[in-house]
Amino acid sequence: MRQAEQSLSGKHWGVSSNVKQAISTTAARFSGFMQHDAQEFLCQCLDQLKDDTERANKRALNSPLDETPGTDDDKMKLRSRYPHDCPIVKNFEFEVMHSITCKQCREVVTKAEQFYDLSLDMPRRSHSNPIGSIQTALEQFFREEGIEYACGECDCKQAIVTHKFTKLPRVIIIHLKRYKFDA
Ligand SMILES: [Zn+2]
């Protein structure tokens, strides 16, 4: 551990060190050298980058023009660059629509949810599916399921839930969960 800390504090640690420091300022749990979940760290980076972009856009649009350095022409050019597109939203954000259908009266309740990454269970291998592929993991995630759900329209407590993409990302981050916890 000591050796790892020493090598991390060496010259090769420059850029990564700045990133780690920036993340630790907001999420103190990443400030030391304890081992952490890589996916949790990635989510923190993405959230922070999104917040920083929003803050920078707000600051630039709200600052009075006469406080911006440069000539009037420079100021207008600078201002026209805002708002910046958020790289996280532009590249990674996607939307999944969850639909819950009552088994008795067929009443449908929908809920849209935005994500930057998709957590999937590691695909299960079987005789019919010897190679556990990402496709299988996606099919497992999107398959319909029976759930317990109190319908608002009738007294039924059983429903079917389905999920579908309603907005696709340019690049999808897939997180494969190796472990499954029994409830
Ligand atoms: Zn119902």
User: pLDDT, tens digit, for every residue of 52-66?
Assistant: 888 888 877 776 666
Instruction: For the chain, state the CA radius of gyration.
Output: 23
With contact defined as beta carbons under 8 Å apart, do 31 and 24 qualify?
A: yes
Q: Which of 46, 62, 88 is the last residue of a domain?
A: 88
Spell out, as residue ranges, where the chain has pLDDT lower than 70: 1-15, 63-69, 75-76, 78-82, 180-183
Please indicate, yes or no, if residue 31 is contained in any of the structural domains.
yes
Compute, in angstroms, the gap from residue 158 CA to the centroid of ligand 1: 8
Q: Which of 35, 59, 88 is the last residue of a domain?
A: 88
Domain count for the chain, please give it.
2
Evaluated on CA atoms 169, 90, 174, 48, the torsion sign reads negative
Please indicate, yes or no, if residue 183 is contained in any of the structural domains.
no
Range of the domain at 10: 2-88
Please indicate, yes or no, if residue 29 is contained in any of the structural domains.
yes
Q: Which of 88, 107, 125 is the last residue of a domain?
A: 88
Compute, in angstroms, the gap from residue 183 CA to the centroid of ligand 1: 27
pLDDT, one tens digit per residue, over 68-97 is 667 777 766 766 666 778 889 999 999 999
**Whole-number pLDDT of residue 181:** 61
**Whole-number pLDDT of residue 155:** 94
98 and 28 together in one domain? no
Please state, in angstroms and rounded to a whole number, the distance separating the CA atoms of residues 152 and 50: 37
CA torsion, points 25, 26, 28, 31, in degrees to nearest 10? -40
Compute, in angstroms, the gap from residue 120 CA to the centroid of ligand 1: 30
